[in-house]
Amino acid sequence: MPKILLIVHVLAAIIAIGPVTVAASMFPAAAREVIAAPDDERGRAVLLNLHRVCRVYAVVGVAVPVFGIATANSLGVLGDTWLIISMLLTAGAAAVLAALVLPRQSTILTGPAGIADTRRLAMYTGVFNLLWATVTVLMIVRPGSTTSV
């Protein structure tokens, strides 16, 4: 059972978090192009699609920690330091996405926005990506774990 849970956890991470990471990273640059050419309907459609990908896959991404906790529990590593830190970083990434990235994408889509708004959004997106990259490294390296390679 632990192997099945781990497979679902890893697949959920790839399928859900990957698209959010890519779409969120593309959004600021695409937004700058739309700000520079406000009559560009195609550019606006791209922005709407990128935002939709971020919102939908953020919801799907809830499966990642759910199956991660189930996997950790089945492996008996739920109390390991590396895993607790990973869970805190995951919660931080979710908070950055929900409180900073998605709302600012919405603001850029609905109101007048400037280049400074896109730069700030790019920074928040970078923090989100860095948190997920750190979680990925911890999941692979598992420092101090009895199950590490």
pLDDT per position as a tens digit, 113-142: 899 999 999 999 999 999 999 999 999 998
Please give the structure tokens belonging to residue 27. 């959004």
Quote the pLDDT of residue 147: 57
Q: Nearest to residue 93, comparing CAs of 26, 22, 21?
A: 21
Quote the pLDDT of residue 86: 96
Exposure string over 44-83, b if 16+ CB within 10 A, otherwise e:
bebbeebbebbeebbeebebbbebbbbbbeebebeebebb
pLDDT per position as a tens digit, 59-116: 999 999 999 999 999 999 999 999 999 999 999 999 999 999 999 999 999 988 899 9
pTM for this entry: 0.92
